[in-house]
Amino acid sequence: MTSIDKNRIRIFDTTLRDGEQSPGCSMNLEEKLKVAAQLEALGVDIIEAGFAIASEGDFEAVQAVANICDKAIVASLARAGAADIERAWAALKGARNPRIHTFIATSPLHMKVKLNKSPEEVLEAIRFSVGLARNLCPDVEWSAEDATRSDPDFLCRAVEVAIRSGATTINLPDTVGYATPETYGAMFRDVITRVPNADQAIFSTHCHNDLGLAVANTLSAIMAGARQVEATVNGIGERAGNAAVEEIAMALKVRHDVMPYQTGIVSTEITRASRLVSGVTGMQVQANKAIVGANAFAHESGIHQDGMLKDSSTYEIMTPDSVGQGATNLVLGKHSGRAAFRSKLAEMGYDLSDNEFGDAFKRFKDLADAKKQVFDEDIVALVDDEVLRGHDRIQVVEVEVYCGSNGPQRAILTLSIDGEEVTAATRGNGPVDALFNAIRKLVPHDDAVLNLYQVHAVTAGTDAQAEVSVVLAENGRSVRGTGAHTDTLVASARAYVNALNKLMVKRGKSALSAAG
């Protein structure tokens, strides 16, 4: 093996599986396919496309992603039972490079409380599940859920059994985000040196961010011998999220002097991936987020600005271009035609079908009429809002609102539900309440509660587009919808309706929640 192979870190992206388990996140099939295509462009090695047995929708998503990926390995998660593994394989078997990813918990707490199994029974389950998966698929990953709270001797025995049963990748997750860089690295060193057949598998990290240490822990495990990392775009995931793929990739690139490892990540695709994921999930990226936040390359103080003008390396350890963050620029105006709009979309990495382009162009013209200057951020909000919603069952057709200090505030709303237009007129305690009452009247959803209503301006100026986020919760499930428009109330209706569409997708999922 050359030193390049030895130091090659495989990137296993789990945005579509663990990332989608973020509270409030869910993606429909079309959105998942767009994300998968962008993940391939980003150069990830493995795409975990879902948890095939979790729902019909997850099964279809794994199958569809498996069918479109021609470079990346496509994985499906499966618990340690035959039904899970067979379902994963049924979804994956059309893939050019399939992987079954099976897992079982190994910590005393999980084995007792969650699985009600003795350690010996867990070892037997590993033997059975990994063996069955390997009979179906040549590429099998096994994960020791809650590895960081497992007994080290038992963990070593479990890993040895998994490798002997046919696992080619061994993942040691920090499921609850409990590890520190020192303890996580030490666990890998311990397992890799003590397990006799460790050289027959690639070791993988999987870190959650409960203590804000997910990326640091991941890097520590690489230094200790891990050669695969599991991560998500923007770090989305259960609770405080997973390790962020863009942070790991750029840390390895920028600090190659102290971490001499390579990944296949095409760093200039990072911003595009980040924007797409935040657009389809509605999870906005915080402004000061490393690498992809709006302020990641912004310089406020005079001293910093002066230094930047003289030489950007005074205050920047990487350039915005290197992560695909171009400077914000004025793009198009109301006289711009189809060709200019098409070439702007291509430059920003959007690849739209003819119908999608037609819809987006109409929205762009309306926006350019309403707003003097159209910026890149406007185009992103517009495309995310219009195009990715094209197949939603419920669509906002028309919004009319009466508001002001002399109530009552009223709304007249027309929705299209499965292609049929319906209208309601309602009152409310303010225009937003009136509007949401109209939605409730047209699409009753008594069990769902509105947990968040948030407005932010996409760009500066009083003519800026408003981007509204709405979180709806129903029976322990929560979904986030977003909508953008220069009229805040139209954006509000679109956000609420987007959340309702996502709720319908989520209702299709079973109550499976075993995997973190």
Region of 10-18, 99-107, 433-441, 497-505 interacting with Zn ion (CB under 5 A): 10-18
Smallest distance from the beta carbon of 143 to Zn ion, in angstroms? 9
Cα distance from N-terminal residue to C-terminal residue, the chain = 34
User: 498, exposed or middle or buried, with CB in 10 Å at 0-12, 13-18, 19+?
Assistant: buried
In angstroms, the CA 299 to CA 89 distance is 50
Smallest distance from the beta carbon of 234 to ligand KIV, in angstroms? 17
| Among 18, 58, 247, 269, contact with ligand KIV (rule: CB under 6 A) | 18
Of the two residues 32 and 206, which places its CB atom closer to ligand KIV in the complex?
206
List the interface residues with Zn ion, window 15-34 (CB under 5 A).
Answer: 18
Of the two residues 57 and 173, which places its CB atom closer to ligand KIV in the complex?
173
List the interface residues with ligand KIV, window 162-201 (CB under 6 A).
Answer: 171, 173, 175
Residue 13 interacts with Zn ion (CB under 5 A)?
A: no
List the interface residues with ligand KIV, window 203-222 (CB under 6 A).
Answer: 206, 208
Residue 141 interacts with ligand KIV (CB under 6 A)?
A: no
Residue 515 interacts with ligand KIV (CB under 6 A)?
A: yes
Q: Are 46 and 75 in contact (CB under 8 A)?
A: yes
- From ligand KIV, Zn ion, none, interface partner of 481 (C-beta below 5 to 8 A by class): none
Smallest distance from the beta carbon of 308 to ligand KIV, in angstroms? 40
In angstroms, the CA 288 to CA 95 distance is 38
| Among 12, 59, 89, 103, contact with ligand KIV (rule: CB under 6 A) | 103
Q: Are 148 and 120 in contact (CB under 8 A)?
A: no
Q: Residue written as tokens 């020791």?
A: 144
Residue 516 interacts with Zn ion (CB under 5 A)?
A: yes
Residue 516 interacts with ligand KIV (CB under 6 A)?
A: yes
Residue 235 interacts with Zn ion (CB under 5 A)?
A: no
In angstroms, the CA 155 to CA 204 distance is 14
H or E element that contains 8:
none
In angstroms, the CA 211 to CA 182 distance is 14
Smallest distance from the beta carbon of 149 to ligand KIV, in angstroms? 11
Residue 145 interacts with ligand KIV (CB under 6 A)?
A: yes
Of the two residues 27 and 497, which places its CB atom closer to ligand KIV in the complex?
27
Instruction: Kindly write out the interface string for residues 237-276 of this chain, putting x where it contacts ligand KIV by CB under 6 A and - elsewhere.
Output: ----------------------------------------
**Sign of torsion over alpha carbons 511, 20, 78, 218:** negative
Smallest distance from the beta carbon of 144 to ligand KIV, in angstroms? 8
- From ligand KIV, Zn ion, none, interface partner of 235 (C-beta below 5 to 8 A by class): none
Pick the closest to residue 221 from 174, 157, 281, 166 (CA basis): 174
Smallest distance from the beta carbon of 177 to ligand KIV, in angstroms? 9
Smallest distance from the beta carbon of 110 to Zn ion, in angstroms? 13
Q: Are 204 and 230 in contact (CB under 8 A)?
A: yes
Q: Residue written as tokens 């980040």?
A: 274
3 state DSSP class of 330: strand
Pick the closest to residue 109 from 175, 158, 171, 162 (CA basis): 175
Region of 13-21, 353-361, 428-436, 469-477 interacting with Zn ion (CB under 5 A): 13-21
Smallest distance from the beta carbon of 17 to Zn ion, in angstroms? 8
Pick the closest to residue 488 from 461, 468, 513, 508 (CA basis): 468
Smallest distance from the beta carbon of 489 to ligand KIV, in angstroms? 40
Cβ neighbours of residue 195 closer than 8 Å, sequence gap 6 or more = 156, 159, 160, 163
Q: Between the CA of residue 422 and those of 70, 393, 417, what are the distances in Å? A: 43, 13, 7
Residues engaged in binding Zn ion (CB under 5 A): 18, 516
Residues engaged in binding ligand KIV (CB under 6 A): 18, 103, 143, 145, 171, 173, 175, 206, 208, 515-516
